[in-house]
């Protein structure tokens, strides 16, 4: 299992896939942490079910570039005869998984949302036909590589501890020819959209970019993150990084509040696994009401500020 981290934290999506793998009952489940000064992350992985964690801790792995990681993983797979490598999708993980697949001539199943063991074989579940059906996918040879949609599984800390093994680094010449020149972080307050337990998402029904303050205020009051539809990010109302849906992010918060969102299939597939879905829309026939747990027919400009007020009152009392 490739364990990705940002700073000194393992990503929730990686820990989710690790927990899922642990639930399949493989006693040899191992994680791989790559980077510089990352040894302390190995203990964390043990709590989520890894029996062993390989640590590739080296200055040459400091930048989040894929090829050096492909070198580390390819060598481990060959030397340790690893039969399956799992990834939680991200820009980096997708690059590493693709590179590893090419390097090892291994089959890669991507965009999986689940994996099960059937008659001793691993079977992946992959949404198809615009996410309207799930298909079973498998591998015809080893090693198998699987890339899961971000947010497919919740991390489950079982409290174990992992054996830690340092990995020797030996990079191919071509792997060090790319250099990271700059890295920028988008400044944002509160939890990221992938990690948030509450998401308040805005759509075209907000009427304009200036009205995104309505969803921002509600998200802040609830301690959540702001999401958006493709229609509004395409219109330049809100950043692309907040887009939820087929061509955006897949999220599964405990609570998803959709404000002025019609509920197109491409949006639905990115948020349908949320715990509770609340929709506010002035059109009683909007498709979003078909898959909401709670629907409010009304104008977002009246309902959202009132809701924010109520949440604040409740919190302060
Ligand atoms: C290949 C492809 C990929 C796509 N990927 C994505 C994706 O990843 N994510 C995504 O979101 N979309 C995606 N789309 C676009 C998707 O089809 C929809 O166009 C988009 O989701 C609609 O966004 P919306 O709900 O904000 O806008 P609209 O569909 O215009 O809906 C606005 C809603 O707001 C309501 N409304 C209007 N005024 C008010 C008000 N004052 N108060 C309350 N409600 C109000 C309306 O009744 C309406 O239901 C994709 C499309 C394609 C073809």
| Structure tokens given for 33 | 């942490």
Q: Has residue 130 got a pLDDT over 70?
A: no
Q: How many A from CA of 316 to the centre of ligand 1? A: 34
Q: How many A from CA of 133 to the centre of ligand 1? A: 22
| CB of 312 closer than 6 angstroms to any ligand 1 atom | no
| CB of 232 closer than 6 angstroms to any ligand 1 atom | yes
| CB of 245 closer than 6 angstroms to any ligand 1 atom | yes
Give, in order, the Cα–Cα distances in Å from 59 to each of 37, 68, 189.
8, 11, 30
What does the pLDDT average to over 26-49?
A: 93
pLDDT in tens, 143-185: 999 999 877 888 999 888 999 999 999 999 999 899 999 987 7
Q: How many A from CA of 302 to the centre of ligand 1? A: 20
| CB of 261 closer than 6 angstroms to any ligand 1 atom | yes
Under the banding of pLDDT at 50, 70 and 90, the label for residue 247 is confident
Give, in order, the Cα–Cα distances in Å from 264 to each of 194, 229, 267.
21, 9, 5
Substitution candidate for ligand 1 out of 203, 303, 307 with most atoms within 8 A of CB:
203
Q: Which residues of 219-257 are buried (b: 16+ CB within 10 A; e: fewer)?
A: bbbbebbbbbbbbbbeeebbeeebbbbbebbbbbbebbb
Residue nearest to ligand 1 atom 20, measured at CA: 231
Instruction: Report the pLDDT value the prediction gives residue 207, as an integer from 0 to 100.
Output: 97
Q: How many A from CA of 172 to the centre of ligand 1? A: 46
CB 42 within 8 A of CB 53: yes
Q: How many A from CA of 106 to the centre of ligand 1? A: 39
> Residue 269 and residue 272: Cα distance in Å, rounded?
6
pLDDT in tens, 282-299: 999 999 999 999 999 999
Residue nearest to ligand 1 atom 2, measured at CA: 266
Quick one: which H or E segment has residue 66? helix 66-80
Q: Which residue has the higher pLDDT, 27 or 162?
A: 162
159 CB contacts (<8 Å, ≥6 apart)? Answer: 47
Residue nearest to ligand 1 atom 15, measured at CA: 230
CB neighbours of residue 29 within 10 Å: 21
């Amino acid at each position: 299992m490739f364990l990705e981290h940002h700073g000194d934290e393992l990503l929730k999506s990686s820990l989710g896939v690790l927990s899922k793998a642990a639930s399949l009952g493989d006693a040899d489940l191992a994680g791989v942490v790559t980077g510089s000064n990352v040894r302390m992350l190995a203990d964390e992985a043990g709590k989520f079910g890894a029996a062993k964690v390989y640590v590739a801790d080296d200055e040459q792995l400091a930048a989040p570039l894929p090829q050096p990681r492909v070198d580390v993983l390819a060598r481990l797979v060959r030397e340790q005869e690893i039969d399956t490598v799992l990834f939680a999708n991200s820009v980096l993980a997708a690059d590493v998984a693709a590179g590893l697949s090419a390097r090892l001539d291994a089959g890669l199943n991507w965009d999986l949302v689940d994996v099960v063991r059937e008659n001793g074989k691993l079977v992946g579940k992959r949404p198809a036909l615009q996410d309207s059906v799930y298909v079973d996918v498998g591998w015809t040879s080893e090693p198998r590589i699987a890339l899961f949609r971000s947010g497919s599984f919740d991390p489950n800390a079982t409290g174990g501890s992992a054996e830690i093994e340092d990995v020797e680094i030996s990079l191919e010449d071509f792997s060090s020819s790319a250099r990271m020149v700059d890295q920028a972080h988008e400044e944002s307050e509160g939890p990221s959209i992938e990690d948030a337990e509450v998401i308040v998402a805005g759509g075209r029904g907000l009427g304009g970019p200036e009205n995104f303050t309505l969803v921002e205020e509600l998200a802040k009051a609830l301690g959540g993150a702001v999401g958006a539809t493709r229609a509004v990010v395409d219109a330049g109302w809100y950043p692309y990084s907040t887009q939820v849906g087929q061509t955006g992010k897949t999220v599964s918060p405990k609570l998803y509040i959709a404000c002025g969102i019609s509920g197109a299939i491409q949006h639905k597939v990115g948020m349908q696994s949320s715990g509770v879905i609340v929709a506010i829309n002035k059109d009683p026939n909007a498709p979003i009401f078909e898959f909401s747990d709670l629907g409010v027919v009304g104008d977002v400009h009246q309902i959202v500020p009132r809701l924010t007020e109520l949440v604040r009152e409740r919190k302060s009392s």
